[in-house]
A and B are shown apart, each in its own frame.
Chain A
Amino acid sequence: MRHIILLLVALSLGTPEAQETLRTLVRQHGHVTQAIQNEYPPATFGELVKHSNLVARVVVIKERAVLSPDETTVSTRYTAQLLDVMHARGRAPVTGGNIEIDRLGGTIILEGKTVNVYESDFPNFELGDEYILFLGGSGGQVYDVPAGGQGAFKVVGGLAQQVSRNNAVIRQQIPQLSLERLRAEVTAAASRK
């Protein structure tokens, strides 16, 4: 009996686990925050366009954060109104309509505790804010942002600034771009493909 108890104690202390779920972590620790560190390579306009099916100016109008199916992280589905299409591979969605964008990050309440997830160097989108996004993803209407914060430009006062700060090759060279300049860069990059 004593051996069995020792074995159970040893197992409880040292058994390798799969990645803990957020549900497990909030039960153990209460509120948790998760920083997702993704190592995106530096991207020029050419590389951003290469990985994009759609380059568009949008305004974020709705968000819904959900626990991932394996419960190890949180992602948010954003609904955005399409203001302008700068580049599209294949059939472009209609300007004025809505598109959906999935990305990591967001805040949920799980087991009564706050779970805040953010992708480092790629702040979560803000409702009502305007962005130019380099979007990839499936052929359907749900897009993603394959280059992370490098593939998102926040538009304020008619000027666009790359959201990424730390990995921002473009931002370091051109801190703010006019929409016309950005469109020209996208058009030029697309024509070079």
Chain B
Amino acid sequence: MIPMLSRNGQQCEADSYVQGNKPYPVDARSEAYGSCDRYAEDGVTGDCILYATEQRGVVGVLVREDSTFDQGYFSPVGASPHVFDTRVTGTTTPENMNWYFYYEGLRTLRYRASFAQTACLMPPAWKEETINFRVLNCLPMWNRTTPTAPIVHVAPQTINVYIDPTLWPNMDTGIRQAITALNAALDPFRGTTQLPTFVPTTSGPCGGPYCINMRAGTPPGTACAGGPITFDPSTGAVISSNNYWPVTSSSMTWGVNFITRTALHELEHHLGLQDNSAWCPLNSTGSVMGSPIPCGATSGYPTSPTLSDITPIVRSVYGGQSTKTCPSTN
């Protein structure tokens, strides 16, 4: 059984992920837990928790229920394991064991846990376990209006992205690059999981769920871009999507990378992801859904989707697991 992560005690993902590289202080909302209840045997009960704290890249392992943590190590799959000196003796929740993950990706955690016997004064038993989980730079956030509301999403079909011909050429190029990058990031997961494919078009504007209009317009206030996604509140299914880009002398100078990142961000909104800015580093390895960037910024952000952007999509919303995603943050 692949352990599941949950936030605030709720099931969160069908495959585990933990969040690393979070630069911000503790906020209870973004605690992430993974339970692995696999020790109910011979009258010995116990469980363990993968615990993603709010500190930078810290993941701890807690072994509860009168147990003693013996040894732990993790490694990238296929590589030699790196053994950590994390022996802790004690009888309850050794919360001071922290492991640091600096890179996104699939990890394997192997550890031994021993448990105080409940009868016969038997010596402690131990069991070695392996857990596969994913380390993400950023904690995925979902666009939903209440904790139990469905995630905003679109059916996995071809989605036309109308590119308004009156947008600046850099915008046209950046939006097309975003479409190419997002499709490429989703491609490895096609087959077992049905996923949308984005197709640029200059025929439009268009309507319905299988169209996103990238149009010239005036976002409010200081916003660099933006627009409405309209959906059925009972299902979360998108029924209309529009994004407006300012065609001004200022936006004419925006670089293609900025446009690409912003367009990717908007396309991921269409797939259900919400901004995860407060739990995501502002750097090139973060997430296109990450920290806000100044209009026209030339660096400090990824220009293609990261695992933080793709994993929740392919494991949850479009993996037939939409009820197992993280609780609302709205």
Contact = CB atoms under 8 A, between A and B. Distances in A.
Contacts of A178: none
Contacts of A117: 228
B266 interface: yes
Contacts of A41: 222-224, 292-295
B323 to A, nearest CB: 19
Nearest to A19: B242
Interface stretch (A2-10, A144-152, A153-161, A181-189): A144-152
B277 interface: yes
A168 interface: yes
A94 interface: no
A16 B204 contact: yes
Interface string A163-193: 0011110011001000000000000000000
A16 B233 contact: no
B230 A17 contact: no
Given A32-B232, A37-B226, A39-B226, A167 B292 contact: yes
Contacts of A33: 145, 230-233
Contacts of A72: 228, 242
Contact of A147 (B222, B275, B276, B294): B222
A66 interface: no
A34 B222 contact: no
- Chain B residues touching A, range: 35 or more
Nearest to A30: B232
Given A16-B204, A37-B226, A167-B277, A146 B293 contact: no
A144 B275 CA distance: 23
A16 B292 contact: no
Say what secondary structure dominates the interface of chain B.
Answer: loop
A116 B224 CA distance: 24
Interface in B255-297: 262, 265-266, 269, 274-278, 291-295
Interface in A106-142: 116-118, 120-121, 123, 136
B161 to A, nearest CB: 13
Contact of B239 (A32, A51, A121): A32
Given A16-B206, A33-B230, A118 B145 contact: yes
A19 B207 contact: yes
B230 A39 contact: no
Say what secondary structure dominates the interface of chain A.
Answer: loop
B230 A22 contact: yes
Given A29-B232, A36-B227, A146 B207 contact: no
Nearest to B143: A35
A37 B242 contact: no
30 contacts: A17-B206, A17-B207, A18-B207, A19-B213, A19-B242, A20-B207, A32-B232, A32-B239, A33-B145, A33-B232, A34-B228, A34-B231, A35-B143, A35-B145, A35-B231, A36-B229, A39-B224, A39-B265, A41-B223, A47-B222, A116-B145, A116-B233, A118-B145, A151-B221, A165-B278, A167-B291, A168-B277, A172-B24, A172-B25, A172-B278
Given A35-B143, A35-B229, A117-B228, 4 more contacts: A16-B205, A33-B230, A40-B292, A123-B330
Interface of B: 24-25, 141, 143, 145, 152, 162, 203-208, 213, 215, 219-234, 239-240, 242-243, 262, 265-266, 269, 274-278, 291-295, 329-330
Interface of A: 16-20, 22, 25, 28-43, 47, 51, 72-73, 104, 116-118, 120-121, 123, 136, 144-148, 151, 165-168, 171-172, 175
